[in-house]
């Protein structure tokens, strides 16, 4: 990876919901789409396990339509895998050897919608705690503004994506500037500072954690909150996510 860019006026911003995306200029930014629980975590795991591509699609029907083209198809709504699909949204299902070298079409409740909302980005990558360090190292080498887009839950704020935005912003801030939209960055960094010693406990009362616990998938939560287990960067190229190569 090339070295950190210094002496640049690049900025870092945080957008708490895809519903607020129109407040930001995505065309001049690298947009990091964040859905820690669990879409962008699963995408990182997929590429770390040899998946060739992931087509993020908005609807379950669109995902199903890719089956005829030889894709594995994935669909999740409200935390649950939809019956009849090959994959849901658990990071563990993307560790299965059958995903290696495969193309996957995936539709999720929020993550793939956030990707659609930011599709005009200068560049779009997926972030999660599982690729935190490699993502930040790469962002530091890019002479470009960075927008951290939290997928949230159905356009509402959520804590887990905000914490990840704070983790990235904390690493970027010594080298990036804050612009007029600085409060969202400051809030994210402060929250991450409170949470970082024990993300799991900090999120105990959070809504999506409660939602996933009801579905008995606490192990997914714990895994998605561990750092750097899937050190790859998914990048959107012509509407398809692939693994970024140096």
Strand order in the sheet with 240-243: 12-15, 145-150, 29-34, 123-127, 234-237, 240-243, 53-56, 103-107, 72-77, 80-81
Q: Which of residues 97-126 bind ligand 3SL (CB under 6 A)?
A: 108-111
Q: Which of 33, 34, 37, 168 binds ligand 3SL (CB under 6 A)?
A: 37
Q: Which of 13, 64, 76, 160 binds ligand 3SL (CB under 6 A)?
A: 76
* Residue closer to ligand 3SL, measured from CB, 62 or 137: 62
Q: Which residue has the tokens 């990091």?
A: 32
- Any contact of residue 160 with ligand 3SL (CB under 6 A)? no
- For residue 237, give the 3-state DSSP assignment: strand
Q: Which of residues 180-239 bind ligand 3SL (CB under 6 A)?
A: none
* Residue closer to ligand 3SL, measured from CB, 109 or 162: 109
How far apart, in Å, do the first and last CA atoms of the chain sit? 6
Least distance to ligand 3SL, CB of residue 85, Å: 12
- How many alpha carbons fall within 13 Å on the CB side of residue 86? 19
Size of the site for ligand 3SL (CB under 6 A): 11
* Residue closer to ligand 3SL, measured from CB, 48 or 150: 150
In the chain, DSSP assigns E strands to: 12-15, 29-34, 53-56, 72-77, 80-81, 103-107, 123-127, 145-150, 234-237, 240-243
* Residue closer to ligand 3SL, measured from CB, 111 or 166: 111
Residues at the site binding ligand 3SL, with contacts judged by CB under 6 A:
35, 37-39, 76, 79, 89, 108-111
């Amino acid at each position: 990876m090339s070295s950190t860019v210094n002496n640049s006026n690049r900025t870092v911003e945080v957008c708490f919901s895809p519903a607020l995306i129109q407040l930001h200029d995505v065309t001049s930014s690298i947009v990091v789409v964040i859905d820690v629980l669990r879409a962008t975590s699963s995408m990182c795991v997929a590429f770390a396990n040899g998946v060739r591509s992931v087509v993020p699609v908005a609807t379950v029907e669109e995902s199903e339509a890719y089956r005829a083209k030889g894709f594995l198809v994935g669909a999740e709504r409200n935390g649950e895998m939809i019956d009849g699909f090959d994959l849901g949204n658990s990071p563990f299902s993307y560790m299965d050897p059958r995903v290696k070298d495969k193309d996957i079409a995936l539709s999720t409740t929020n993550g793939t919608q956030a990707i659609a909302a930011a599709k005009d980005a200068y560049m779009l990558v997926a972030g999660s705690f599982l690729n935190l360090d490699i993502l930040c190292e790469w962002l530091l080498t890019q002479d470009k503004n960075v927008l951290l887009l939290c997928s949230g839950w159905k356009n509402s704020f959520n804590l887990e994506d905000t914490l990840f935005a704070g983790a990235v912003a904390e690493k970027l801030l010594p080298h990036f500037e804050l612009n007029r939209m600085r409060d969202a960055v400051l809030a994210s960094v402060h929250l991450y500072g409170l949470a970082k010693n024990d993300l799991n406990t900090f999120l105990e009362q959070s809504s999506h954690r409660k939602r996933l616990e009801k579905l008995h998938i606490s192990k997914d939560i714990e895994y998605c909150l561990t750092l750097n287990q899937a050190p790859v960067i998914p990048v959107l190229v012509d509407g398809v996510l692939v693994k970024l190569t140096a």
